[in-house]
Amino acid sequence: MNRIIVFLGAICLAACGGNPSGLVRNEASGAALGTSYNLIYLSPEELNLQKEVDSVFDAINHSLSTYIPASDISKINKGDSTLVVDSMFQEVFKQSQEVYEATNGYFDPTVGTLVNAWGFGPEKQIQMDSTRVDSLLEYVGFNKVELTAVNTIRKRNPNIYFDFNAIAKGYSIDRLAKLMDAKGVENYLLEVGGELVAKGQNQLKQKPWIVGIDDPTVENARKLKATIRLQDKALASSGNYRHFREDPVTGTKFVHTIDPTTGFTKNANTLAATVLADNCAKADAYATSFMAMDLELVLKLLRTKQELEAYIIFIDEKGEIQEFMTPGFEALVTKS
C-alpha cells in the first residue's frame, strides 16, 4: 500500500502568532494492524482518547485479523460456519460485496488463498505454476460466499479463505472517525498506514488539512508527487512499486497486487492509484482494485462512479510516466 505522507505543519503558537481558534491540539500515535497510526484532533480542551482508540483497534483485530488465530475471521477461515459475526465484520463484508460487484470481481477478499500461496499472507507459501493457480481459483470468488440472515458466513467451498486486509485499514479509520464524531470533535486528521480521513480544518492555523502523495518512481527515498487539501473526505492510495517479493534463484519480482480474475500477480502499467471517497473503507477497496485492473477499465469505472475522485500514475505505451486526475481531485491540488 502506498504510504501517503501527512503534512500538518509545525503548530507552534508562538511562531504562528497565537491561537485564534482557542482549540487544543491532541495527538495519539502508535502501532496497530501491522502498521503505524497518527491521529490529530482538535478540541476546546485537552482530550485523551488513547484508551478508546486502543479499544477500536482491539475490536477490529478480534473481528478481522488473519494474523490472530482466535479472531472471528480466522475461525471462519478454519471452517466455523456457526459463528455469528459482529457488526464490523458485517459492514466490511457488505462494503466488499459492493466494490466486488462494481469492479466485476477485481476487488475480492476471497483472494486470501492466493495471497498465501504467493507468499504475501500469514500462511505457508507454495510453489506456483499455471496448474496450481487454476486449482486455487476454485476457492476464489466473492459470489461463492454469503452473509446469512442470522449473520453467519456460508461458503460454497470450505477452503475459501477471507482476507480483508485491503479494506480493513480504511475501515479502521472510519471507526476512529465515528469515535471522534461521538466525542463531539469537529476538526481532525486521522491516518492509519497511510490511509486518511479528514474532517473540518486545521483550525490552529486557520487552513485546510494538507496531505502529500508519494512519487511512485522514487524507490529508495521519499519525494512528493502532489499535495492536496483534504476536508470531510477519506483518501487511500495503493501502489506496487515498493511491495514485492523477489525470487532468490531467478531474481523474478512478484508484485503485491494479485489479480483475482486470473490468480496471478499483476505487473500492470499503473504505478499508483489514489482514491477519494466518502468513507475510507470504500477508498481503500477501490485503490486496491485499481491496481489489478487495466487502466482503461479504471477510467471507464470512474466515469460511472461520480462519488469517487482519483489520481492515477501510469506508464504509457512509450514507457513514459503519465498522470490522470478526475476534475474533482485536480481541484484539490495545492499550487506550489
pLDDT in tens, 59-105: 999 999 999 999 999 999 999 999 999 999 999 999 999 999 999 99
The band of 229, judged by pLDDT with boundaries at 50, 70 and 90, is very high
Name the DSSP letter for residue 251.
-
Report the pLDDT value the prediction gives residue 1, as an integer from 0 to 100: 44
pLDDT in tens, 146-159: 999 999 999 999 99
Q: How far is it, in rounded angstroms, from Cα 322 to Cα 315?
A: 6
Instruction: Report whether CATH 3.10.520.10 matches the domain 5-330.
Output: yes
Select from 331, 59, 39, 333 the least CA-distant residue to 196.
39
Report H helices in 165-248. 165-182
pTM: 0.89
CA-to-CA separations, 183 to 41, 56, 127, 200, 206, in angstroms, rounded: 11, 14, 50, 15, 22
Is residue 40 within 8 A of residue 186, CB to CB? The reply is no
The cell for 330 is 485536480
Please compute the mean of the pLDDT values over residues 205-232 and round it to a whole number.
85
The band of 314, judged by pLDDT with boundaries at 50, 70 and 90, is confident
Is residue 212 within 8 A of residue 226, CB to CB? The reply is yes
Where in the chain are the domains?
A: 5-330
Report the pLDDT value the prediction gives residue 2, as an integer from 0 to 100: 46
Report the pLDDT value the prediction gives residue 221, as an integer from 0 to 100: 64
pLDDT in tens, 16-53: 445 667 899 999 999 999 999 999 999 999 999 999 99
Range of weakest confidence among 77-86, 92-101, 244-253, 320-329: 244-253
Those residues whose C-beta lies under 8 Å from the C-beta of residue 91, and which sit 6 or more positions away, are 171, 281
- What is the percentage of the chain residues whose pLDDT exceeds 70? 87
